[in-house]
Chain A
Amino acid sequence: MTATAEPGGATRADTRDSDEPRPASAVVLEVAGLDVRFGSGPGQVHAVRDVSLTLTAGRCVALVGESGSGKSTLGRALLGLAGPNATVTARRLHIHGADALAFGPRDWRTVRGRRLGLVSQDALVALDPLRPIGREIAEPMVAHRLVARRDTGSAVRALLERVGVPDPEQRARSYPHQLSGGLRQRALIASALAAQPDVLITDEPTTALDASVQARILALLGQLKADGTGLLLISHDLAVVEALADEVAVMHEGSVVEAGPVAEVLTHPHHPYTVALLDAVPGRRPRASAGGPPGAPRAAGGGADADGDPLLVVTGAVKHFPVARGARRTAVDDVSFTLRAGETLGLVGESGSGKSTLAGLVLGLLAPDSGEVRLAGRPWSRRPERERRAERHTLQLVPQDPLSAFDPRWTVARILGEALAAVDVPRPDRRTDALPLLEQVGLTDAHLDRRPSALSGGQRQRVAIARALATRPRLLVCDEPVSALDVSTQAQILALLRELAGSLGLAVLFISHDLAVIREICARVLVMKDGRIVETGPVERVFTDPHHPYTRELLSAVPGEIGRAARAGTVPSRPAEERTEMTEMTEKN
């Protein structure tokens, strides 16, 4: 390989022409029998077990698994960056034909950035927040002596242009916090491309982003692949994988349990874990009834209750928050809706759209600046807390992060006891009454004396649901109840919620940023943007025939959909994309 590449690769085609010719199927990285262990002795953790992979220019290999499956560790180990406590062994680890097992620190440095680039999750922290992105992007070129430090300007501009950042001259001087999430991620990709590596290792490249931005970043990665860059895509999200990958390896507890071409693995999975993972993807699961969402028939068959007075009525609710120096932000803007007993209503929107504020208003934890919330036909938001207290048991919250919703010093028995006390269960009976609650959510008396910190994420969420049910509420407000959970746990919790809502006849206000989750559990949906409800209707109608442009944008941003579009060659055109991201930026301004 010559080290005299074109400065920064002004355009991809130029670089390729002037560089040594690289066969399209060039194997860049080959690894066999890789193991990563952390620590030593009895406390040793065997994070990656006997993994074999081959990365090729122009192809994308996906590594799928839930958090803790060892996929990120594997990605780092391929760069020689598994960390000081890690022991990496392999039968074979070849990078560009060189035996990386014999690499010293100096050899690794010649490979990092130059042969293998890294793009990690959340560019806000993956780029140095104290340096302008131009300097970050120039760093690999300087480190590998491709370009003299003072001549990096034009190369940086070309890279920014290539990844679709508008106004590169200006943006190169921006700091990461001044850019929108999408532009930031593009800048991070540009910095990974700067020394023209043959393969990018992308570790959850879209996870921290909103759905619509996610789709555009995936399109960019697809474009890079088409231009000849190999990709190792590490992701927990099967939809992302489906959109981009040629081959997939499923990781579970450090081992690859199944591998093969994407189409084959995703349609005909062999290993039970792959099957479970696929089943767990919201929207992929078989529906309870073919015609409509599971909530719909029940709501219709709910009898007089469903046709009677609505349980929750929100009319013209407005909530402002003061921001710096006297200004105020309108978090909820003139929102009205109703919720009937036994009905499951979805509330969808991206982060910052005002969903959680609306939940606070419904729960009576926040007071609306104008408008009203009525519960069971009686005023709710306009009553003093003293009177409201006696009726609080009728509606309960299932929070996003149950760990922070429990007093860290308390055991499960005491947590449930506090809730039972709220409906006047005498102290001696609380422990016995807590047991059926736990059984209802699939836990046992073995969990009674544990502290929340000693439970798994799914178990915690079950305890949170049990606490919410302890007061025998009529309405559950679920605020992103599954977004902090792994996919397979997600599926279990959703099934539990659906079953409980059905059997107890609960009304549910289900808040989520995830359309697939909403579609699975709700009968009717509200779409929220910038504090307003922009669209509402039966969930199937909204999904198949969205009226509002924002809903359409949200839907097209579901990774599976964009993936199919990308494959068919109908990637959203770049100008449109720039416009949205520019708006996003000016909003932050």
Chain B
Amino acid sequence: MSLARRLPRPGLLIAAVVAILMLVAAIHPALFAGGGPAEGDLHATLQGPSGRHWFGTDQLGRDVFTRAVHGTRYSLSIGAAATGIGVVIASGWGLAAALSGRVGDTLLMRAADILLALPAVLLALMVVLITGKGVFGVTLAVAVGTAPGFARVIRGQALVVRRSGYVNAAVGLGVRRPLIIVRHVLPNTLAPLLVLATVTLGTSISTGAALSYLGLGAQPPTPEWGAMLTEGQGYLGQAWWIALFPGLLLVAMVLTVTVLGRDAQARSDGRTS
């Protein structure tokens, strides 16, 4: 029984609405927040939440709400791009393992095992070491972190499909191997992966923000949520709102994606939510 199934249906509805709002905010933040994310009013620094500044202002007098809304696109795009890259790398990797001979399979899967043995954060740190700090590096780092796990799933699924009755039947009909792969193996292998990717998207967003928080991703003037938290942490005693609100939005985003992803998973497993 999946968790999504035990959630009341309103949960799913709220998640869908929040997802749409966040998507809009990511594409066109000006709809929600008037000013620019870098505009500061040095006469109004570290002000608490009020009717004028919903989320308060930071140490440079910038409106936290405006910055947080503008930050939506960073987290969302880092998470989505990383998952996308991860899926592409993993598809090649997993399918190659499943469709190549025993030696190739062993080598490729051993490599995945080795990468899985390292903590994802450490792997990400090594990638950032190569690419240098920045949004691109973090995106790639998160992608590399998810790829080996995906590759295992794809390989497993591909092997199941390859040994399935319908592939055997196609062989028995004399259908050519490349045609069998395109017609049966690929679609039946990749469909479950899309669901898995949705479920993982939440984790990717979260990891991306964590790396930015550690100072490896988007750098401070950028209104990325993780980076905003780093800035805000210095003012926890005086101005809790600087760190609180971006984090709250981050939680909302991860929660939304997770709920939608689990629902998709439940549906694809044949259990309607």
Interface residues of A (CB under 8 A from B): 363, 365, 388-393, 395-397, 399, 401-402, 404-409, 418-419, 421-422, 467, 471
Contacts and interface: CB of A to CB of B under 8 A. Distances in A.
A402 B164 CA distance: 11
Contacts, number: 55
B166 A406 contact: yes
B165 A365 contact: no
Nearest to A388: B174
Given A407-B184, A408-B188, A409-B188, A389 B165 contact: no
B165 A405 contact: yes
B164 A404 contact: yes
A389 B169 contact: no
A426 B176 CA distance: 17
Interface of B: 164-166, 168-176, 183-184, 187-188, 191
B173 A471 contact: yes
Contacts of A422: 173-175
Most A CB atoms within 10 A — which of B165, B168, B176?
B165
A385 to B, nearest CB: 8
A419 B169 CA distance: 9
Contacts of B183: 407, 418
A422 B172 CA distance: 10
Contact of B168 (A365, A390, A391, A418): A365
Contact of A392 (B164, B172, B191): B172
Nearest to B176: A389
A396 B166 contact: no
A26 to B, nearest CB: 43
Contacts of B191: 409
12 contacts: A365-B168, A365-B171, A365-B172, A388-B174, A389-B176, A390-B174, A405-B165, A405-B166, A406-B165, A407-B183, A419-B173, A422-B173
A545 to B, nearest CB: 37
A418 B172 contact: no
Given A408-B188, A409-B187, A409-B188, A392 B174 contact: yes
Nearest to A470: B173
Given A404-B165, A405-B165, A405-B166, A397 B188 contact: no
A408 B170 CA distance: 14
The 10 closest A-B pairs by CB, nearest first: A405-B165, A392-B174, A422-B173, A389-B174, A404-B165, A407-B166, A422-B174, A405-B169, A406-B166, A407-B184
Nearest to B177: A385
Nearest to B169: A405
Contacts of B176: 389
B173 A399 contact: no
Nearest to B270: A453
A399 B170 CA distance: 13
Contacts of B171: 365, 392
B168 A397 contact: yes
Given A401-B165, A407-B188, A418 B170 contact: yes
Contacts of B169: 397, 399, 405-406, 467
Nearest to A401: B165
A253 B252 CA distance: 49
Contacts of B168: 365, 397, 405
Contacts of B170: 418
B173 A393 contact: yes
Nearest to A420: B173
A273 B98 CA distance: 50
Contacts of A365: 168, 171-172
Contacts of B166: 404-407
Contacts of A406: 165-166, 169
A360 to B, nearest CB: 9
Given A392-B173, A396-B172, A407-B166, 4 more contacts: A392-B174, A393-B173, A397-B169, A405-B166
Contacts of A418: 170, 173, 175, 183
A401 B175 CA distance: 21
A401 B174 CA distance: 21
Among B164, B169, B175, B184, residue most surrounded by chain A Cβ atoms (within 10 Å)? B169
Most buried by A among B172, B174, B184: B172
A426 B166 CA distance: 22
Given A404-B165, A405-B166, A406-B165, A393 B174 contact: yes
A86 B174 CA distance: 50
A583 to B, nearest CB: 32
B165 A399 contact: yes
A419 B173 CA distance: 6
Nearest to A395: B172
Contacts of B172: 363, 365, 392, 395-397
A571 to B, nearest CB: 41
A401 B165 CA distance: 8
A85 to B, nearest CB: 13
Nearest to A399: B165
B272 to A, nearest CB: 12
Contacts of B173: 392-393, 396, 418-419, 422, 471
A418 B184 CA distance: 11
